[in-house]
C-alpha cells in the first residue's frame, strides 16, 4: 500500500539509553549529518529516512534526532535544545510529528517525557523499544490499551534487531492529524493558573503556542535563563502568572513539584492498567555480573585491567597504523618532490598541505581505537559501572566519574581524549574535563623529555644504585601535569564554571552484548566528524604555521638560515628577552613557535636551528631525540661569560616544565574548538596554560639560579 508523498520532518525524542540512537540509525542507515545547534555545544543530528523494503514507500522524510533527555524542563542544555526544536526554533519549523522512544522496561520514566510531548499537543507516536528485553526482565505491556488511553499510536519495536520498523514507518507516514487537546491537570490551583495564562496568551499574543504544555513551560521555567524566543507580551503574561503562583504557600517551587508529582500520578494510574511486572528486581544476569563488577575489590580489579587494556590499545596498538600513515605521507611527499621543481609551490604542497593532511590523518588510529573501546564499554553497559567505581575518587578532585576514561586517554593523546569527553553528561563537568585534558602528559611530550635527559642528565648516576635519574624525571613530569590538572579543575569549579553540583544520577542499564554493526557505525561517525570538522581547522593552522616558518624567503639558503630569516625565526629572536628569565634563548624560541604544530617537532626544529647538516640525520625518520649529534650541537653552544654550555640541567628542567604545562599543540586547540563549538574556550585554554607554563618555568629557573642548583 503506497502512501502519499509529502516532505515530512519527524523528531525523535527519548531518554538517554532508551535505544533512540539505535532506532535513528536503523531508520536512516547511519548516514546522519552531524553539526551543532548554533550557540550551544549540543550536537545536531539529522538524516533522511531510508527505504527499507519495496512494500513501504518512503516519502521525503527527514528525521531529527533530538538530544536524549528525561524531561523538557530545560535543566540541561540538551533539554533546552530539545524543547526549542519542538516549538520551532533553530531556523526550522516545528516537526510535523514526534516519535517518542520509550524503553518498555523503564516505562514510567520514558512515558514521563511522552506525557510532556502530549501536553505540547504535538502529534506523537510512541515507539515501545526493547521489546526483546521485556520478557527477560518479566515485563508485559498491553500496547493497544496504552494507545487507547493516550490516544496515540503505540508501536512495539526492537531497534537492536530492527523489528517492528515497518509498522513504525507506516505510522510515521500517515497523514498528520489535528492534535488532540490535552486537559489541564495538577489540582485546582494549577488548572486555574494554566487556564488564566492560556486566556492571556490568546488575547495578547498570537505567536506563542498555547497548549497546556506551553503554558506549563512558561509557568515553571526560569524565564531569565532560558534562551527560548518570547515576545514581550508572552513574557509579561508569564511573569505575572508566576508572581501570582509565588504568592501561594510554597511558591513556584511547590507548584513545580506538584506538577511533576501529578504527572507521575497520571502515569501510575495508566501503567497499573497496562503494565505487568512479574519480577520486582533487576535482570538476573545483570545482578549476577554486578555482584563481581561492582564489588569493591573484584570490581576494582576488573576495572583496572579493563583500563589497562584500553590504554594499551590507544597508546601502543595504534603505533603500527600511525607508522603506516606516516610512511604513506612520506611516499606521497617524495612523489610530489619528484614531479615538481624545488621552489615555493613544491614547498607549499609538500611541507604545507601534505604535512597538514598528514597531521590530521595521523590521529585517526588513536581516535578509532579509543572510540571502539569506549563504544563497546558504553553499549555493553559497563561504562556506568566504571563511572560508579571511580566517582568518589574523581569527585574528591572535583571531577565526574565519567571523566576518568577521557582523562586517562589523554595520557596517550589529548585529541581523542577530548573527543571522548562527550560521555560526561553535565555541561559544566564536560568543560572542566576538556579544559584540563591537555595537562595529562601526552606521548608527544616524551621526545622532549628524552631530549633533555640525554643532553644533560644522561651522565647522572642511578639513585639507590638502580633507579635511573631519567625515569624519575619523567615520572615527576607526569605528576606535575596531574597536579596542574587537579589544581585547574578546582580553580574552574570555584570561579568561571561555578554552579551547583548536579546530582550523580547514573543510569545502570542492563548488560547487553554490543552489536558490532552499531559499534563500527559509531566509530566511523566520530572519525568522519574529526576529519571533516576538526581536520579542516588543523589543516588551516598547518598551512599558516608553514607560512610563518617559510616567509620571507631567502635565496640559496640552508634550511637553518631560511628558518632564522622567516617570520617564525624573527619571532623566536624577538621573544628572546621574554624567555631569557626562563633560561631559554632564541634557538629554543624558534623551537617553541614551530612546535605549536606538534610538540615532538621541537626535536627536529632544534636539529635545524643548530644547523645540523643532513648527513647527520637519518632521511627516513628524521633526527632522534636522543641523538648524540644533536646533543653535542646543543651543548656546544657556550655562554661566553662562563665558558660552559648555555643548556644546563636547570635550563633543561625549565624546558621540560614548560612543555608539561603549555598548550603546544594546534590539533588539541582545533579539537577543543570543535567540541565546545566556540573559539572562546580554546583561546582561554591557550592563554591560561601558556601563562601557567611561563610562570612555572620562570620559578624553576630563577629559584634554581638563586640556589645555584643545576647550573
Applying CB under 8 A, the residues found at the interface with another protein are: 70-71, 73, 75, 105-109, 112, 139, 253, 256-257, 260-261, 264, 277, 281-282, 290, 294, 296, 300, 384, 387-389, 391-392, 395, 500, 502-509
> C-alpha cell of 583?
633560561
Nearer to another protein, 146 or 442 (CB): 146
Distance, CA of 154 to CA of 151 (rounded, Å): 9
Q: Are 399 and 448 in contact (CB under 8 A)?
A: no
Least CB distance from residue 268 to another protein, whole Å?
Answer: 8
Nearer to another protein, 392 or 494 (CB): 392
Least CB distance from residue 446 to another protein, whole Å?
Answer: 33
Over the Cα atoms of the chain, what is R_g?
A: 30
> C-alpha cell of 678?
566556540
Least CB distance from residue 229 to another protein, whole Å?
Answer: 23
Distance, CA of 562 to CA of 343 (rounded, Å): 13
Nearer to another protein, 98 or 133 (CB): 133
Q: Are 4 and 175 in contact (CB under 8 A)?
A: yes
- Residue 539's contacts (CB-CB under 8 Å, 6 or more residues apart) are 353, 356, 357, 359, 360
Nearest Cα to Cα of residue 264 among 479, 420, 113: 113
Nearest Cα to Cα of residue 541 among 356, 684, 676: 356
Distance, CA of 675 to CA of 422 (rounded, Å): 8
Least CB distance from residue 559 to another protein, whole Å?
Answer: 57
Nearer to another protein, 105 or 566 (CB): 105
Least CB distance from residue 28 to another protein, whole Å?
Answer: 28
β-pair partners for 34: 45
SS3 36: strand
β-pair partners for 126: 100, 154
Distance, CA of 254 to CA of 49 (rounded, Å): 43
Q: Are 448 and 602 in contact (CB under 8 A)?
A: yes
Nearer to another protein, 384 or 648 (CB): 384
Residue with cell string 589523554: 410
Distance, CA of 316 to CA of 367 (rounded, Å): 13
Q: Are 154 and 128 in contact (CB under 8 A)?
A: yes
The number of residues in the chain equals: 711
Nearer to another protein, 111 or 197 (CB): 111
Least CB distance from residue 294 to another protein, whole Å?
Answer: 6
With vertex at residue 598, the alpha carbon angle to CA 597 and CA 602, rounded to the nearest 5 degrees, is 100
Nearer to another protein, 54 or 296 (CB): 296
Least CB distance from residue 256 to another protein, whole Å?
Answer: 6
Nearer to another protein, 205 or 507 (CB): 507
Least CB distance from residue 76 to another protein, whole Å?
Answer: 9
Least CB distance from residue 252 to another protein, whole Å?
Answer: 11
> C-alpha cell of 327?
610512511
Region at 218 (left for phi over 0; alpha for psi -120 to 50; beta for the rest) = alpha
Nearer to another protein, 191 or 262 (CB): 262
Helix 427-436 vs helix 666-676: angle between axes, to the nearest 10 degrees? 180
Neighbours of 42 (CB within 10 A): 20
Nearer to another protein, 217 or 439 (CB): 217
Nearer to another protein, 222 or 644 (CB): 222
Distance, CA of 501 to CA of 54 (rounded, Å): 52
Least CB distance from residue 665 to another protein, whole Å?
Answer: 35
Least CB distance from residue 275 to another protein, whole Å?
Answer: 9
Q: Are 10 and 98 in contact (CB under 8 A)?
A: yes
Amino acid at each position: 500500500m503506497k502512501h502519499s508523498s509529502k516532505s515530512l520532518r519527524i523528531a525523535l525524542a527519548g531518554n538517554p539509553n532508551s535505544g533512540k540512537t539505535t532506532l535513528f540509525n536503523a531508520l536512516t542507515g547511519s548516514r546522519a549529518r552531524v553539526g551543532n545547534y548554533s550557540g550551544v555545544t549540543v550536537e545536531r543530528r539529522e538524516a533522511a529516512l531510508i527505504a527499507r523494503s519495496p512494500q513501504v514507500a518512503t516519502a521525503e522524510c527527514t528525521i531529527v534526532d533530538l538530544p536524549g533527555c528525561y524531561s523538557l524542563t530545560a535543566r540541561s542544555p540538551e533539554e533546552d535544545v530539545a524543547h526549542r526544536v519542538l516549538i520551532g526554533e533553530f531556523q526550522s519549523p516545528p516537526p510535523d510529528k514526534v516519535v517518542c522512544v520509550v524503553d518498555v522496561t523503564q516505562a514510567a520514566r520514558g512515558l514521563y517525557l511522552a506525557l510532556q510531548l502530549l501536553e505540547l499537543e504535538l502529534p506523537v507516536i510512541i515507539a515501545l523499544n526493547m521489546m526483546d528485553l521485556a520478557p527477560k526482565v518479566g515485563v508485559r505491556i498491553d500496547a493497544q490499551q496504552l494507545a487507547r488511553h493516550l490516544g496515540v499510536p503505540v508501536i512495539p519495536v526492537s531497534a537492536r534487531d530492527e523489528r517492528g520498523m515497518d509498522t513504525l514507518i507506516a505510522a510515521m507516514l500517515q497523514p498528520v492529524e489535528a492534535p488532540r487537546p490535552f486537559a489541564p491537570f495538577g489540582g485546582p490551583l494549577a488548572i486555574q493558573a494554566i487556564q488564566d495564562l492560556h486566556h492571556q496568551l490568546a488575547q495578547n499574543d498570537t505567536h506563542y503556542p498555547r497548549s497546556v504544555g506551553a503554558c506549563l513551560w512558561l509557568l515553571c521555567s526560569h524565564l531569565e535563563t532560558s534562551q527560548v524566543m518570547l515576545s514581550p507580551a508572552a513574557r509579561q503574561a508569564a511573569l505575572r502568572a508566576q508572581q501570582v503562583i509565588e504568592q501561594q504557600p510554597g511558591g513556584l517551587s511547590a507548584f513545580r513539584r506538584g506538577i511533576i508529582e501529578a504527572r507521575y500520578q497520571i502515569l501510575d494510574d495508566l501503567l497499573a492498567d497496562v503494565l505487568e511486572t512479574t519480577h520486582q528486581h533487576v535482570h538476573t544476569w545483570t545482578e549476577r555480573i554486578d555482584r563481581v563488577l561492582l564489588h569493591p575489590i573484584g570490581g576494582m580489579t576488573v576495572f583496572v585491567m579493563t583500563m589497562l587494556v584500553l590504554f594499551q590499545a590507544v597508546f601502543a596498538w595504534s603505533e603500527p597504523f600511525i607508522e603506516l600513515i606516516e610512511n604513506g605521507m612520506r611516499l606521497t611527499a617524495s612523489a610530489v618532490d619528484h614531479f615538481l621543481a624545488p621552489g615555493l609551490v613544491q614547498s607549499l604542497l609538500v611541507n604545507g598541505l601534505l604535512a597538514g593532511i598528514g597531521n590530521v590523518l595521523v590521529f585517526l588510529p588513536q581516535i578509532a581505537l579509543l572510540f571502539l573501546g569506549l563504544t563497546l564499554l558504553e553499549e555493553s553497559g559497563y561504562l556506568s559501572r566504571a563511572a560508579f567505581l571511580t566517582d568518589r575518587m574523581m569527585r574528591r578532585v572535583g571531577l565526574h566519574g565519567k571523566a576518568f576514561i577521557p582523562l586517562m586517554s589523554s595520557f596517550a593523546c589529548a585529541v581523542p581524549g577530548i573527543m571522548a569527553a562527550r560521555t560526561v553528561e553535565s555541561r559544566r563537568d564536560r568543560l572542566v574535563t576538556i579544559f584540563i585534558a591537555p595537562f595529562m602528559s601526552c606521548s608527544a611530550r616524551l621526545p622532549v623529555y628524552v631530549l633533555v635527559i640525554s643532553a644533560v642528565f644522561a651522565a647522572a648516576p642511578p639513585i639507590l644504585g638502580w633507579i635511573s635519574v631519567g625515569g624519575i624525571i619523567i615520572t615527576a613530569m607526569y605528576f606535575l601535569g596531574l597536579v596542574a590538572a587537579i589544581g585547574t579543575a578546582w580553580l574552574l569549579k570555584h570561579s568561571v564554571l561555578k554552579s551547583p553540583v548536579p546530582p550523580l544520577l547514573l543510569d545502570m542499564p542492563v548488560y547487553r552484548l554490543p552489536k558490532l554493526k552499531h559499534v563500527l557505525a559509531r566509530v566511523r561517525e566520530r572519525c568522519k566528524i574529526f576529519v571533516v570538522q576538526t581536520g579542516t581547522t588543523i589543516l588551516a593552522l598547518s598551512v599558516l604555521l608553514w607560512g610563518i616558518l617559510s616567509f620571507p624567503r631567502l635565496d640559496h639558503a640552508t634550511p637553518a638560515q631560511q628558518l632564522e630569516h622567516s617570520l617564525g625565526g624573527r619571532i623566536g629572536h624577538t621573544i628572546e628577552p621574554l624567555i631569557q628569565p626562563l633560561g631559554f634563548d632564541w634557538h629554543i624560541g624558534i623551537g617553541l613557535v614551530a612546535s605549536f604544530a606538534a610538540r615532538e617537532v621541537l626535536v627536529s626544529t632544534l636539529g635545524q636551528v643548530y644547523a645540523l647538516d643532513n648527513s647527520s640525520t637519518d632521511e627516513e625518520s628524521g633526527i632522534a631525540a636522543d641523538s648524540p649529534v644533536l646533543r653535542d650541537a646543543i651543548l656546544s653552544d657556550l655562554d661566553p661569560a662562563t665558558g660552559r654550555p648555555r643548556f644546563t640541567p636547570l635550563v633543561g628542567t625549565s624546558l621540560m616544565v614548560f612543555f608539561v604545562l603549555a598548550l603546544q599543540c594546534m590539533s588539541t586547540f582545533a579539537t577543543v574548538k570543535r567540541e565546545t563549538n566556540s573559539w572562546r574556550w580554546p583561546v582561554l585554554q591557550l592563554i591560561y596554560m601558556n601563562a601557567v607554563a611561563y610562570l612555572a618555568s620562570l620559578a624553576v629557573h630563577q629559584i634554581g639560579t638563586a640556589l645555584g642548583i643545576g647550573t
